[in-house]
Amino acid sequence: MAKFQVPLIKKPHGTGEFYYFCASKPKYKTKTLTVTTGFLKHHPMDKILVIGAAGQLGSELTRALADQFGGDQVIATDLRASASTLFPYCRFEVLDVMDKEALGALVKRERVTQIYHLAAVLSATGEKNPHFAWQLNMESLLHVLELAKEFGLDKIYWPSSIAVFGPSTPKVTTPQFCEKDPNTVYGISKLAGEGWCNYYFEKYGVDVRSLRYPGLIGYKSLPGGGTTDYAVDIYHKAIAKQPFTCFLSEDTYLPMMYMPDAIKATLDLMNVPKEAVKIRSSYNLAGMSFSPKEIFESIKKEVPSFEISYQVDFRQSIADSWPDSIDDSRARADWGWKPSYDLDSMSRDILKHLPTFFPPQS
């Protein structure tokens, strides 16, 4: 039985996790082992650059990367200088990803080996300034892919989105390969980006990996202007004991994912050997699917006095063009993906932890 081995160390001493992938029975497994300091020097050269680290995803993914590689090996960057306080555990630098020279100089100076490129204009914000969204989302990806080619970087991570799908896409259990006619500039840029990722892999051997995230729901930071933001905002209102006004109609189903699952999926994909990654555009990824009515009912089980009303806006038509649910069987088969959370377990966890990060205003 062929095995590839990728050791991941979580602590400087003591116990670490040993990840391995079994090629004959595709499944990604972990084993906890006791490790020695000598073993820790296994990957001394990994240097991870996170771009757009201060956002909803980046602020949690950067922490997970520092846990895996060690804080000294991770550099968090973002356009916003004020974000430096978010990263006491690793270095932070202000970086505009559109400044290709500054990005290249940083990669060279720091001997960066992997880039996680998370900076983007999201779906709802993108519709307000489509040309800017296209420019940022596309040019920044091309900068990163070119640098990866030029410097021979080990791996690149770049997230795509369910926004690549459109009105002609099958809505239920949307397949990995199907018609895609995105009708937002965000979706158009993600679909084009997937094509570029595949191109750089095929033409230049750049090891770029990608996931089509559903709407991401976390409690540690605020969302950045997407169509699924309501599913984060609703928990803040529930904790504040205030009624919630939803910008989508009560029966609008969308694919969603709890942040710990999104982080796990990202690390899982990035840690499997190159040969296991069979799709170089972007993998479908599913966690759960629910409507505003269902998330409201799930919260109401914990907060019985909670109330909701609906005031639909322009984001409804974006949501209507996206799938209700996603078929992620390729991710499951190729690298062993499996989500851990459903709607109720996510609601319980968020309501328990959110007040620590965002104490309700009195």
Ligand X SMILES: NC(=O)c1ccc[n+]([C@@H]2O[C@H](COP(=O)([O-])OP(=O)(O)OC[C@H]3O[C@@H](n4cnc5c(N)ncnc54)[C@H](O)[C@@H]3O)[C@@H](O)[C@H]2O)c1
3-class secondary structure, 70: coil
Residues 91-120 that bind ligand X (CB under 6 A): 95-98, 118-120
> Is residue 51 close enough to count as binding ligand X by CB under 6 A?
yes
Q: Which of 16, 70, 126, 159 binds ligand X (CB under 6 A)?
A: 159
Question: Quick check: 308 and 297 in contact, CB under 8 A?
Answer: no
Beta bridge partners of 17: 8, 32
> Is residue 226 close enough to count as binding ligand X by CB under 6 A?
yes
Determine the size of the site formed for ligand X (CB under 6 A).
28
Name the phi and psi angles at 33, rounded to 5.
-125, 160
Q: How many CB atoms lie within 10 A of CB 339?
A: 18
Q: Which of 28, 49, 52, 267 binds ligand X (CB under 6 A)?
A: 52
Q: Which of 16, 58, 70, 323 binds ligand X (CB under 6 A)?
A: 58
Q: Which one of 177-185, 211-219, 305-313, 345-353 is the stretch in contact with ligand X (CB under 6 A)?
A: 211-219
> Is residue 80 close enough to count as binding ligand X by CB under 6 A?
yes
Give, in order, the Cα–Cα distances in Å from 293 to each of 245, 246, 253, 315.
Answer: 12, 10, 9, 17
- Residue 68 vs 161, nearer CB to ligand X: 161
* C-alpha to C-alpha distance for 302 and 307, rounded to whole angstroms: 12
Query: Which residues, 6 or more positions from 270, have their beta carbon under 8 angstroms from its beta carbon?
Result: 114, 155, 157, 209
* C-alpha to C-alpha distance for 268 and 260, rounded to whole angstroms: 12
> Is residue 215 close enough to count as binding ligand X by CB under 6 A?
yes
Is 186 one of the annotated active-site residues of the chain?
Answer: yes
- Residue 118 vs 263, nearer CB to ligand X: 118
Catalytic residue, candidates 28, 186, 258, 283: 186
* C-alpha to C-alpha distance for 326 and 71, rounded to whole angstroms: 35
Contacts with ligand X by CB under 6 A lie at 51-52, 54-58, 78-80, 95-98, 118-120, 122, 136, 159, 161, 213, 215-216, 223-224, 226, 228
Q: Which residues are catalytic?
A: 186
